[in-house]
Structures are given as structure tokens and as C-alpha cells.
Amino acid sequence: MKRIIQKYKFLVLLMMLFVGSSYAQQRKLVHNQIEFKQAVKQAKPGDKIVLANGVWKDAELVFTGKGTAKKPIILTVEQKGKVTLEGQSNLRIAGEYLVIEGLVFKNGYTPTKEVISFRRNKTHLANNCRITECVIDNYSNPERFETDYWVSIYGKNNRFDHNLLVGKRNHGVTLAVRLNTPESRQNKHQIDYNYFGHRPVLGANGGETLRIGTSHHSLTNSNTIVENNYFDRCNGEHEIVSNKSGQNIFRYNTFFECQGTLTMRHGNETLVESNYFFGNGKVNTGGIRIINEKQRVINNYCEGLTGYRFRGALVIMNGVPNSPLNRYFQVKDSEARGNTFINCDYVQLCAGSDKERSAVPVNTSVTNNLFYNDKKPDLFTVYDDISGITFKNNLLSKNTQTISKTGFFKQKLNFTRNAQGALIPTNTKARKLGFQPVKAKATPENTGVSWYPRREEDVRFNTGQVIQVTPGENTLFDALKRSKRGDILELASGEYIMTKSLDIRHPITIKGKNSKGKKPFIQFQKTSLFNIENGGSLSLENITINGKESPDASGNTVIRTSRYSMNRNYKLFIQNCDFVDLNINHSFNVLKVFKNTFADSIIVRNCLFQNVTGDVLSLNKETDDRGIYNVERVVLDNCTFADVRGVALNAYRGGRDESTFGPMVEVAKCSFTNVGRGKRNKTLAALYLHGVQEITIQGCDFKQSAPIKLHLVVGDPVVNINDCLFEKTPKIISNDPAYKTKNLIFK
Ligand code: CA
């Protein structure tokens, strides 16, 4: 009995406490922006403003107030996942001790320069505030090169944690820490447990996922801590992270298949410690890039990173003597100690060495690291004098070529994978070198939010239903209209006539049914057959397309991109197809692209292009010479080009920007006969490659054709032209002789 009374007393006490606190602390449910404004105006420390469930359209929320450390003012939602900010929405916060949680931005884009800003205006900043469990999902401006930031952190002592940011597709940093006024410097921000989801290749500078500072303020300290974040395929450009200020700490983060590096671009005394980089052999995946002074790279784990040059697993750069703020400071007094690199392809020392970047690293050490790749002996690339780097006690695999008489030793190792997924040597002595396991590791599960679904939006073909299509007028048009993402339209043999253009708005495969019999035969009456619109991707297989029914006007095209900006990258795969008699008038193209469109990959295999009055692949519409281009990767494999008056492939990237690493072009086993000699072909070339970064031309025949023309710029493009025959075709024309050839025959 006594016990029951005691329990009862306790309950009463608890209830009194609860009632008491709810008197002092308001919980205000608001249903619209007017109620929200009112609630913000009246909010006192400890109050909670609750956004009602539903869609908040065009909601520009300004949340200001003064809470206290013990009693912050909280902005939250009725139910997490049930409140979305859509259309032209954004959030500005300013004041002290504000906490924001549970907001979701989707289906739209910010009308201003930021989605979430830690300031109301230039003078009214947020300090000691926290944004947690918020989501920004594909909230990208439809104009690819319209710049905005998703999150800008100003002020001091702010925390941004457990948020999910996925699918930034337009120009501009995903999350920026700003140091533009004294009130935002030495800020001690904390950025932790966030999930940075897939950021597709932008094909330009300005695709950073996280940037701290800018070159202007790079000699001041930020003191930001970035820890326990998960970076999932953050491929926007070669800086996943662009560190541009001093005394920041990056630790316990995971970089999963990210194309790029954690770059210490400006500022000194940054610590990069105990991070995981998993490349899984994916192209252009990188690790850590060191520039500037007193940088420490300690106890990181890197595996399967393939990136070359500025995207190496470990990159130590050359600097510019007396560098201006925005160029490259010399590496001084820096160290890389106790890191592990397993099956990584490139460690780059004195990277970027050229006439301007001539200041080699000094007083820098590389100690106790484990460099293990028993498949690739030339792991290290030395671009300049490395005498300013001291090497000590680094372990190499047996076959690895050493670059210094001292500081390296070789040993064959076996590994076991530990609970965090890292390979650890079984040899106890070797285990003391390289990465020492830490328990903290960011994973998709312990970052971001748990209550919001993570969709995979990467382009995938052949994941849907097969839809049968029979010959006739617009049967393909009707089938396409019924189709869904990833479906396969299977065409029976016969003639297809299209009086309408086909707008491709999702990934779709269009293929002839019998790979051995007669290919289905498509003719079209509009100026284009396929229009790849934003979100669309096209795979064509085993089809013949002919231009006889096309309008008797110049400039027809079989495939074109949207005329408007596309913020979604597309893929175009064509195999076993014939494109014939595209010659009803002049300048009839196979593919025509527009500005502000970008292909991740264009892969063409086993195809015939015959009697074409225009270009086959013309990817040259980014002409501002700012390092922007139209395609990341082009493959032409085992194709025949005959009587093509325009250029077979024109890929153009202008300017000297070094932030990206495309385009990459591979042409193999193709034959070119009478290609590129039409009087309207301004390139005067069969293949015109301007600013392309990787070129392989292998096993091709060029007969009575215009020459290959190369314009080699930016860094050192890798060019290999091997085993080709040139018959009644001029020699290769290039601005720079720095390209490699092997076994070329001219007749
Ligand atoms: Ca950049």
C-alpha cells in the first residue's frame, strides 16, 4: 500500500511538472505563413512553433528570435515527413539559440540564392543555432547554370547535423560555410552526421558539395569541425570538399565512390584525420589533396581509388611563388602520416607542376603510411623535385616502384577486413603502420534522417516492363506514351512511320525484336525523331533509321536534346543500329545538342552511318570557354562512317578551368570513308576534339577523309592514337605535339 501511495505521489509530481512547464513553454501549431509570422513574433525562450502537416507552397520562412542555451526556441513539424516546403520556398534564420528540425524541401527550388540561410540579411546573423533532421531533396533550379547554394552557414557556433541533402543538379555549392564578415570568422561551427547524397557530374566548376570559406578570406581561420558525415557519390566536380580557410577539422567522414578529392585548396593548419575513402574502382574517385601550410593528413583509410592527377588518392601539389590569394600557395610544413592506401592507382607528388606552379613542397613529411597495390607498380607520379618531402618508414607492396632511396620498405601482406570494412594487415608489425582502426565511421544508416525515403535516381535502363510494338503509323509514339521509367519497347520487324516527334522524358530502351532478322525500319516526318527532354535517357538497339520521309529542309536531326536547360544528365546508348540516307537536304545530323545540356555518357557500338549531310555527334554548344562542355564520356566502337559530309564527332571544352576532368573520348575499331569533307563542315575535320582530357583512338581506318584535329589544353591531356591507317587522308593536326602515337600508317 505504501508503495502504491509513493508511486501515486510521484505521478502527481510528474503531472504538476508537466502542467507547469506547458504554462511557461508554448507549443504553437501554425497552419499558414501568417500564423507562422505571428508565432515567431511572440516566441519566447522554450517555445515551440509547429508547422502543421501538409504542403507549404511558396513558403519563405523567416525565423528570428532569442532563445537561451537551456531554452532554445524550436521550429518543428507536426509529424516528420508529413510537412513539405515546395514551390519557391526557403528558410532564413537569425538570432540566438534557435533549433529547426524536420523540414523537407522538395518539388521546386529557392527563389533566392539559398534554400537555408543562417542569416536574415547581411547584418542579422544566426549564432548558437542548430538545424537538424532537415531534408533538401532535388530542390534544384531547372536552369543548370543558375547559381544557388542549398545551405549557407553564417555567424558563429552553429550546428548542422543529421540532415539529408540529395540531388543538387544546378550550379553552386551544396553546403557553404561563409566567412565574408568578421562576425562569421573563427566560427566553431559543427557539421556532423549529415548524409550528402548523390550529386551528379556538373561538367563545370561550382559543383562542390561542401566549401568552407573562399580565397578572399582564406588566411583567416574558420575552426569548423566536419565529422561523421557520409558522402555518397558526390561527383559534381573534382572538389568534393573545398577547404578554403584555416584550422578546420575533417574526421570520421566516409566518402563513398566520390569522383574528386577532399581538397585543402586554401588556408592553413587543417587536420584531416581518420576518414574513409572507398572508390570501389570507380572512375575518377580520389582521396586527399594537399596545398598550403601546416596541413596534417593523419590516419585516413583509402581503398580502390582510381583518380589520376588532381584526383589522386594522395596529391601533394606544387605552388605558385608569391601566389596571389586565388592561386596555389606552396606546400610547407605539412605531413601525411599513418594513412593506408590499398589498391589505389595514383599518388601524385608535385602535381600541377608547370611554369606558373614552380614552387615545390618544402619541409613536408610522408611517414608511416601503407601504400599497397600489388597490381600496379607505378603508383607514384613525381612531377618535380621532391627533395623537400621527407619519406620515412612507409610500407610498399613488393612490386611498387620506389621514388626515394630512403623512407620506404617492401613487404608482402595479407589482410583481413575489420568490422568497419577496412583491410587490416594480418602481420602484427605491419599493423602498426598505416591506418589504426577507429570505431567512429559514418554509414548511410547513422547519418541523415531515418524517416525519409532514399530513392535511387541514377539513370538505369531495362529495369521496367517489356512493351510489344507493331509496325505502323505512330505505334511507337503511342507505346512510348504508355511507358514508364526503365521500360523496353520491343519493335517487331517492319516499317514504322512517325508523324510526330517522340519526347523522351524517362530512361527508355527502344529495340528491334530479332537481333538476327531484318531490323525494324523507322522514318519520320518532323524535323527530329527523338527529343531527349529533362529526365530522359535513350537506349536504341537493332533498328534502322532513314531520312527519306523527313522534311526537305536543312537541319533535321534524328536525336536532339531539349532546347531548354536540362539539370538532369542523360545517357545515350546506341548499338547495332543503321542510320542511312540522312541526306534529303543539307546539315542533317544524327545527334544535335543544345547549350545547358549534359550527357554522362554517349556509347555507340556496331553502328553504320551512311549518306549523312550533317554531323554524326556534334557536342560543341558550350562555347563560353569557361571549362563547360556537353558530354563526360563518348565511346565509338566498331562503327562505320561512310559519306558523312560533316564531322563524325565534335567534342568541345573551351577555357583553362581545371575543376573537371572530362570529356573523355574513346574511338576504337571504326572505319571512316569520305568523312568530314563537306563544304559546310567548319571544323574541316573527321574528328574534332577541343579541350578533351582523355583521348584514345585505336585500330581505326581513315580513307579519303578530313584529318583528325586536336586542340590540347588544360593540364596534361592524355592522348594515345595507335594502330590506325590513313589513306588519302591528311596527317593529324594539333596545336601541341604532346600526344602519343604508335603504329600509324599513312598511304
Ligand atoms: Ca571548385
DSSP string, 618-642: EE----S-SS--SEEEEEEES-EEE
Ligand 1 centroid to 311 CA: how many Å?
A: 12
- Asked whether residue 75 carries a pLDDT value surpassing 90, the answer given is yes
Residue-wise pLDDT for 200-215, tens only, equals 999 999 999 999 999 9
244 and 308 co-located in one domain? no
Residue 415 burial (10 A CB sphere; 0-12, 13-18, 19+): middle
Ligand 1 centroid to 662 CA: how many Å?
A: 14
Ligand 1 centroid to 320 CA: how many Å?
A: 18
Q: pLDDT at position 517, please? A: 76
Q: pLDDT at position 19, please? A: 46
Ligand 1 centroid to 190 CA: how many Å?
A: 22
What is the gyration radius of the CA atoms in the chain, in angstroms?
A: 29
629 and 515 co-located in one domain? yes
Q: pLDDT at position 716, please? A: 79
Phi/psi at 20 (nearest 5 deg)? Answer: -55, -45
Ligand 1 centroid to 265 CA: how many Å?
A: 9
The pLDDT confidence band at residue 21, using thresholds 50, 70 and 90, is: very low
Within-domain flag for 493? yes
Strands, E assignment, 252-352: 254-256, 260-266, 271-273, 276-278, 285-290, 296-298, 301-303, 314-317, 335-337, 340-342, 347-351
The pLDDT confidence band at residue 15, using thresholds 50, 70 and 90, is: low
Q: pLDDT at position 515, please? A: 67
- Which of 274, 303, 338 is the endpoint of a domain? 274
Strands, E assignment, 187-310: 190-192, 195-196, 210-212, 225-227, 230-232, 239-244, 249-251, 254-256, 260-266, 271-273, 276-278, 285-290, 296-298, 301-303
The pLDDT confidence band at residue 456, using thresholds 50, 70 and 90, is: confident
Q: pLDDT at position 738, please? A: 87
Cβ atoms of 312 and 279 within 8 Å: the answer is: no
263 and 281 co-located in one domain? no
The alpha carbon of residue 490 and the mean position of all alpha carbons in its chain are separated, in whole angstroms, by: 33
Ligand 1 centroid to 238 CA: how many Å?
A: 7
406 and 507 co-located in one domain? no
Ligand 1 centroid to 209 CA: how many Å?
A: 10
* Mean of pLDDT values over 650-665: 92
β 671-675/589-592 pair status: unpaired
- Asked whether residue 10 carries a pLDDT value surpassing 60, the answer given is no
Cell of 623: 562555347
Cβ atoms of 103 and 83 within 8 Å: the answer is: yes
Cβ atoms of 137 and 169 within 8 Å: the answer is: no
265 and 387 co-located in one domain? no
Within-domain flag for 739? yes
Ligand 1 centroid to 172 CA: how many Å?
A: 9
- Asked whether residue 627 carries a pLDDT value surpassing 70, the answer given is yes
Residue 489 burial (10 A CB sphere; 0-12, 13-18, 19+): buried
- Which of 395, 418, 439 is the endpoint of a domain? 439
Cβ atoms of 259 and 286 within 8 Å: the answer is: yes
Cβ atoms of 619 and 625 within 8 Å: the answer is: no
**Bridge partner residues of 524 (DSSP):** 498
Ligand 1 centroid to 395 CA: how many Å?
A: 33
- Asked whether residue 281 carries a pLDDT value surpassing 90, the answer given is yes
The pLDDT confidence band at residue 607, using thresholds 50, 70 and 90, is: very high
652 and 604 co-located in one domain? yes
Residue-wise pLDDT for 724-734, tens only, equals 999 999 999 99
Ligand 1 centroid to 53 CA: how many Å?
A: 39
The pLDDT confidence band at residue 6, using thresholds 50, 70 and 90, is: low
Separation of alpha carbons 442 and 296, rounded Å? 21
Q: pLDDT at position 24, please? A: 58
Within-domain flag for 511? yes
CB-based neighbours (< 5 A) of ligand 1, an ion: 205, 239, 659
Within-domain flag for 16? no
The pLDDT confidence band at residue 639, using thresholds 50, 70 and 90, is: very high
Residue-wise pLDDT for 314-366, tens only, equals 999 999 999 999 999 999 999 999 999 999 999 999 999 999 999 999 999 99
The pLDDT confidence band at residue 3, using thresholds 50, 70 and 90, is: low
Ligand 1 centroid to 95 CA: how many Å?
A: 31
Q: pLDDT at position 20, please? A: 43
Ligand 1 centroid to 242 CA: how many Å?
A: 7
259 and 280 co-located in one domain? no
Within-domain flag for 464? no
Ligand 1 centroid to 166 CA: how many Å?
A: 19
- Which of 239, 274, 309 is the endpoint of a domain? 274
CATH of the domain at 230: 2.160.20.10
The rounded percent of the chain whose pLDDT value lies above 90 is 93
Q: Dihedral through CA 534, CA 539, CA 545, CA 547, nearest 10?
A: 20
Tally of domains within the chain = 3
Ligand 1 centroid to 207 CA: how many Å?
A: 7
Ligand 1 centroid to 236 CA: how many Å?
A: 9
Ligand 1 centroid to 145 CA: how many Å?
A: 14
Give the length of the chain. Answer: 747
Within-domain flag for 75? yes
Cell of 567: 539539370
* Mean of pLDDT values over 479-493: 97
Q: pLDDT at position 457, please? A: 81
CATH of the domain at 698: 2.160.20
Q: pLDDT at position 349, please? A: 98
Separation of alpha carbons 236 and 279, rounded Å? 15
689 and 574 co-located in one domain? yes
Separation of alpha carbons 161 and 227, rounded Å? 10
- Asked whether residue 11 carries a pLDDT value surpassing 70, the answer given is no
The alpha carbon of residue 427 and the mean position of all alpha carbons in its chain are separated, in whole angstroms, by: 38
Cis peptide leading into residue 663 (ω within 30°) = yes
The rounded percent of the chain whose pLDDT value lies above 70 is 97
325 and 243 co-located in one domain? no
Ligand 1 centroid to 465 CA: how many Å?
A: 41
223 and 345 co-located in one domain? no
- Asked whether residue 514 carries a pLDDT value surpassing 90, the answer given is no
**Bridge partner residues of 561 (DSSP):** 532
475 and 383 co-located in one domain? no
Ligand 1 centroid to 455 CA: how many Å?
A: 27
How many C-beta atoms lie closer than 10 Å to residue 149's C-beta? Answer: 22
Which residue in this structure is represented by grid cell 586554401? 266
How many C-beta atoms lie closer than 10 Å to residue 262's C-beta? Answer: 27
Ligand 1 centroid to 520 CA: how many Å?
A: 47
Residue-wise pLDDT for 545-582, tens only, equals 999 999 999 999 999 999 999 999 999 999 999 999 99
Residue-wise pLDDT for 252-262, tens only, equals 999 999 999 99
Q: Is 687 helix (H, G, I), strand (E, B) or coil?
A: strand
Cell of 17: 511538472
Ligand 1 centroid to 211 CA: how many Å?
A: 9
Rounded to the nearest integer, the mean pLDDT of the chain is 95
Distance spanning both ends of the chain, measured CA to CA: 109
Within-domain flag for 4? no
Q: pLDDT at position 13, please? A: 52
Q: Which domain holds residue 607?
A: 471-746
Separation of alpha carbons 144 and 282, rounded Å? 25
Residue-wise pLDDT for 380-412, tens only, equals 999 999 999 999 999 999 999 999 999 999 999
Separation of alpha carbons 688 and 38, rounded Å? 62
- Asked whether residue 12 carries a pLDDT value surpassing 70, the answer given is no
520 and 641 co-located in one domain? yes
Separation of alpha carbons 600 and 610, rounded Å? 26
Within-domain flag for 94? yes
- Asked whether residue 67 carries a pLDDT value surpassing 50, the answer given is yes
- Asked whether residue 23 carries a pLDDT value surpassing 60, the answer given is no
Separation of alpha carbons 202 and 598, rounded Å? 8
Separation of alpha carbons 686 and 702, rounded Å? 9
Q: Is 725 helix (H, G, I), strand (E, B) or coil?
A: strand
Ligand 1 centroid to 228 CA: how many Å?
A: 23
Ligand 1 centroid to 232 CA: how many Å?
A: 18
- Asked whether residue 311 carries a pLDDT value surpassing 60, the answer given is yes
Ligand 1 centroid to 625 CA: how many Å?
A: 16
Cell of 8: 501515486
User: Of 650, 648, 747, 646, nearest to 704 (Cα)?
Assistant: 747
